[in-house]
């Protein structure tokens, strides 16, 4: 896979004359938005990031009228606006490279902790390479997205939930940079009566939000909530490209022509089932690998708004299921499920162009079933 990525990038670079073509997109398309938002924070008014006309004008001034830099809106909460503030202190290319390397290191560190893949028959260095070679990681790096950071925070929160509850709560609170990805944590913490982590997460999220609002201004928070309507109407509910690239039940139904009411209703039912399944796993076992697999897959399934690059979260679940299989032997269908899940991000990436049916939710449900089956036979510690 690493060799294929190298060939892909090399062909892309050759086709675009070293990514200088004015007619073809280049890597870091999403990261350029983060870098532009940093420029706003350092050289303008923070509210300009949420005003599309102002932000687009700033992007044009930074990138010129070059089509390879798509003029995307800033759709993130003030918490993430605060996090990206230092980025434009470095040139775009260097900032992108350092952020990508930092994300990979954090992701690999957290994933190896929760999966204990290095303690199986797989050597630790091979396990790290396998994680880095995951298509979900490649796509997150390709776009310059923050999925590696959010996945690392989730994994470390799970790792520390029973060991260092306060630190785990802070990790969950930091997910306020993308709050929809923290949706399953409150349920599993309540189900396991881990009140210290629960209240630490609530307190840190509130503190993080308050600090970012204080620095960025209350106007940014108001404008962020106003922009969520644009995200819902223009992208989630009526964007064909999003449906083809989103591994959710909502996207599958909308892409197949079903009404909004039907899509939302089924998505709600799926969310209830998968959150309940995650709670069952967390109550039944303290095995960090099973808890990680259940929570990360449930998070992807419970959210209607998930892009292909968020499948970096799925890499955590696959690493955990792989480690369990190598230690305890394989159950029927597990290896096939892991391979299909491994390749799912590639399918989602290219499906935006080929417009095939959306199987993402089915694949994720199959993997969640694998975690539930393991929970029933796992010899790990039980609550």
Q: HSE on the CB side for 77, CA within 13 Å?
A: 18
- Any idea of the CA torsion for 352, 357, 361, 362, to the nearest 10 degrees? -150
Cα 89 to Cα 355: distance, rounded to the nearest angstrom: 40
Establish if 330 belongs to a structural domain.
yes
Identify whether 74 is part of a domain. no
Total number of domains in the chain: 1
Q: Kindly state whether residue 247 falls inside one of the protein's structural domains.
A: yes
Would the pLDDT of 380 be above 60?
A: no
Mean pLDDT over the full length of the chain: 90
Please tell me the distance from the alpha carbon of residue 312 to that of residue 141, in angstroms, as a whole number: 10
CA nearest neighbour of 19 among 89, 90, 77, 96: 96
Domain coverage including residue 313: 2-19+27-67+91-377
pTM: 0.92
DSSP symbol at 331: P
Whether residue 85 is contained in a domain is answered as: no
Note the pLDDT of residue 201.
96
Alpha-helical segments (H) within 193-239: 195-216, 218-230
**Angle at 311 (CA atoms; ends 353, 375), nearest 5 degrees:** 135
pLDDT in tens, 64-89: 755 545 678 899 999 999 999 999 99
For residue 152, being part of any structural domain is answered with yes
Is pLDDT above 70 for 152? yes
In a domain? residue 80: no
Q: Which of 117-121, 127-131, 199-203 has the lowest mean pLDDT?
A: 117-121
183-187: average pLDDT: 96
Is residue 40, in this structure, part of any structural domain at all? Answer: yes
pLDDT tens column, 187-243: 999 999 999 999 999 999 999 999 999 999 999 989 999 888 888 988 989 889 899
In a domain, 160, yes or no: yes
- Would the CA dihedral through 160, 212, 199, 293 be positive or negative? negative
State how far the Cα of 63 lies from the Cα of 60, in Å rounded to an integer: 5
CA-to-CA distance for 210 and 222, rounded, in angstroms? 13
Return the structure tokens found at 50: 């949420």
Angstrom distance (rounded) from CA 250 to CA 238: 11
Instruction: Read off the tokens for 186.
Output: 């409150």
Question: How far apart are alpha carbons 98 and 84 in whole angstroms?
Answer: 13
Question: Can you tell me the distance from the alpha carbon of 116 to that of 125, in angstroms, rounded to the nearest whole number?
Answer: 12
Given pLDDT bands bounded at 50, 70 and 90, which one contains residue 379?
A: very low
pLDDT one-digit tens code per residue, 285-341:
999 999 999 999 999 999 999 999 999 999 999 999 998 988 888 888 899 999 999
Residue 94 pLDDT > 60, yes or no? yes
Q: Output the CA angle 52-56-61, nearest 5 degrees.
A: 155
Return the residue matching tokens 């935006």. Answer: 352
Count Cβ atoms below 10 Å from residue 73 Cβ, excluding itself: 17
Structure tokens at 157: 């929160």
pLDDT at 120: 67
- CA gap 282, 292 in Å, rounded: 9
Is 19 strand, coil or helix?
coil
């Amino acid at each position: 896979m690493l060799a294929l990525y190298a060939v892909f990038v090399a062909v892309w670079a050759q086709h675009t004359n070293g990514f200088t073509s004015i007619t073809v997109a280049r890597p870091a398309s999403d990261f350029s938005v983060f870098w532009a938002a940093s420029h706003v924070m350092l050289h303008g008014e923070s509210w300009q990031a949420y005003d599309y006309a102002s932000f687009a004008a700033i992007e044009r001034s930074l990138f010129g009228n070059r089509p390879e830099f798509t003029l995307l809106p800033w759709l993130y909460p003030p918490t993430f606006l605060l996090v990206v503030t230092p980025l434009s202190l470095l040139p775009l290319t260097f900032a992108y490279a350092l952020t990508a390397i930092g994300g990979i290191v954090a992701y690999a560190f957290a994933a190896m902790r929760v999966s204990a893949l290095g303690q199986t028959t797989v050597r630790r260095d091979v396990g790290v390479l396998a994680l880095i070679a995951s298509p979900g990681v490649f796509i997150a790096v390709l776009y310059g997205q923050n999925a590696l950071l959010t996945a690392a925070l989730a994994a470390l929160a799970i790792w520390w939930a029973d060991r260092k509850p306060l630190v785990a709560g802070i990790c969950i609170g930091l997910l306020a940079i993308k709050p929809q990805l923290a949706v399953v944590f409150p349920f599993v913490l309540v189900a396991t009566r881990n009140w210290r982590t629960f209240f630490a997460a609530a307190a840190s999220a509130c503190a993080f939000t308050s600090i970012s609002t204080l620095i960025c201004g209350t106007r940014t928070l108001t404008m962020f909530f106003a922009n969520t309507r644009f995200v819902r109407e223009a992208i989630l509910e009526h964007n064909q490209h999003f449906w083809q690239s989103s591994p959710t039940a909502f996207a599958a139904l909308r892409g197949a022509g079903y009404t909004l009411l039907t899509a939302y209703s089924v998505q709600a039912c799926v969310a209830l089932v998968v959150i309940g399944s995650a709670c069952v796993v967390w109550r039944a076992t303290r095995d960090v690998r099973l808890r990680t697999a259940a929570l990360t897959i449930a998070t992807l399934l419970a959210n209607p708004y998930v892009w292909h690059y968020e499948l970096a979260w799925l890499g955590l679940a696959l690493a955990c299921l792989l480690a369990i299989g190598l230690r305890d032997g394989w159950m029927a269908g597990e290896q096939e499920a892991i391979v299909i899940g491994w390749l799912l991000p590639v399918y989602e990436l290219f499906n935006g162009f080929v417009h095939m049916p959306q199987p993402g939710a089915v694949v994720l449900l199959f993997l969640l079933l694998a975690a539930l089956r393991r929970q029933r036979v796992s010899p790990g510690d039980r609550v």
